[in-house]
Amino acid sequence: MTLDSTLTQLAYLLIFPGFLFLALYGMYLQWLDRKLCAIMQNRVGPPWFQALADFIKLLAKEVIVPDAAESRLFRLLPFFAMAAVMTALVSIPVGRSALFGFQGDMVVVIYLLTIPTVTFFLAGWSSTSPYSTVGAMRVLTQLFAYEVPMMLSLIGPAILAGSWKITGISIFFAANPILIPTQLLGFATALVALQGKLERIPFDIPHAKNEIVGGQFTEYSGRLLAFFYLAIDMELVVGAALLSAVFLGGSLGLTRWAAIPVFLAKTLAITFLLALLKVLMARIRIEQMINFCWKYLAPLAMAQVLLDVFLKYRLG
């Protein structure tokens, strides 16, 4: 590998579509989500720089580690969460193809996006605070609720496209846009499951502030809390990008810089839908979420899988 190619790969990883793009776009989507919710609720909402200002403010605050916590694990968990989200992005096409795509990368991305949730659980459990422990248990319980519908909803498009590579699925639907409406059921299921993965209303049960203060992050402060929040913002970008690539045809066959506006438009549209769902619903209890995911979301996702199997058979 030459020096130029090495520098190019580093630029991809660190600048675009790597860490810098992911962090800044994640902050922008966080602001957009808050602004959209404010408009829908007839409020003013935050200024455009609010997310960045909050991040900088937290960086300047003191980091306090509980005496009973395992200090090294407590400090490392936010960085594990960010690393997992960044690694997931390299297999999702921002343009026409992913930075490092391979056959079966969709399965890898699904499991990489599970790692941040596991770090949230460990963060709460290792904090040894009663509020953090309750939040941690809710994180883990919620994981078992939404993970199965999420995976089932992603299986259908993979079966229809005949590929477990996210770029391959995206290219298939870009070449066959008439089949995109047939994935509406799976897309709706994945959208609701993503809302649960991101712990947004009505699924913000693990960190319900009027019940358990701040849940799994109660004992976190300063830059560690800032990096956890940044990981969540980045996960919103990656989740929206994943749904765009798998269900909406990704860049619709466009290449290079022409694909970027399509990527941005679709992720913004998905963010709008998530904000709409957030405004329309009130927080539910943990057992209500489990019942909803297993009684309704999972069967709907399975129906999408069966539909895609039928369409695959008909298309030969």
Q: Mean pLDDT throughout 153-160?
A: 95
> Per this entry, what is the length of the chain?
316
pLDDT of residue 211: 77
- Structure confidence at residue 299 as a pLDDT band (50, 70, 90): very high
Which residue matches tokens 């509980």?
A: 66
pLDDT of residue 3: 62
61-70, 99-108, 179-188, 203-212 — which one is most confidently predicted on average?
A: 179-188
Say how many CA atoms lie within 13 Å of 292 toward its Cβ.
14
Asked whether the predicted pLDDT for residue 19 surpasses 70, the reply is: yes
Which residue matches tokens 């590998």?
A: 1
Using a 10 angstrom Cβ sphere, with 0-12 exposed, 13-18 middle and 19 or more buried, the burial of residue 62 is: exposed
Query: pLDDT by residue (tens digit) across 26-71?
Result: 999 999 999 999 999 999 999 999 999 999 999 999 998 998 888 8
- Structure confidence at residue 256 as a pLDDT band (50, 70, 90): confident
pLDDT of residue 197: 95
Q: How far apart are CA 61 and CA 50, in angstroms?
A: 17
HEC string for 146-178:
HHHHHHHHHHHHHHHHCCCCHHHHHHHHHHCHH
Tell me which DSSP letter residue 1 carries: -
Domain regions of the chain by residue span: 12-315
Which residue matches tokens 């990527």?
A: 263
Q: How far apart are CA 305 and CA 186, in angstroms?
A: 8
pTM for this model (two decimals): 0.94
Which residue matches tokens 């319980």?
A: 141
Q: Are 136 and 125 in contact (CB under 8 A)?
A: yes
Mean pLDDT of the chain: 91
Q: How far apart are CA 230 and CA 228, in angstroms?
A: 5
User: Who contacts 109 (Cβ-Cβ below 8 Å, separation ≥6)?
Assistant: 88, 91, 92, 166, 242
Which residue matches tokens 């298309």?
A: 315
More confident call, 89 vs 98: 89
Asked whether the predicted pLDDT for residue 1 surpasses 70, the reply is: no
- Structure confidence at residue 285 as a pLDDT band (50, 70, 90): confident
- Structure confidence at residue 220 as a pLDDT band (50, 70, 90): very high
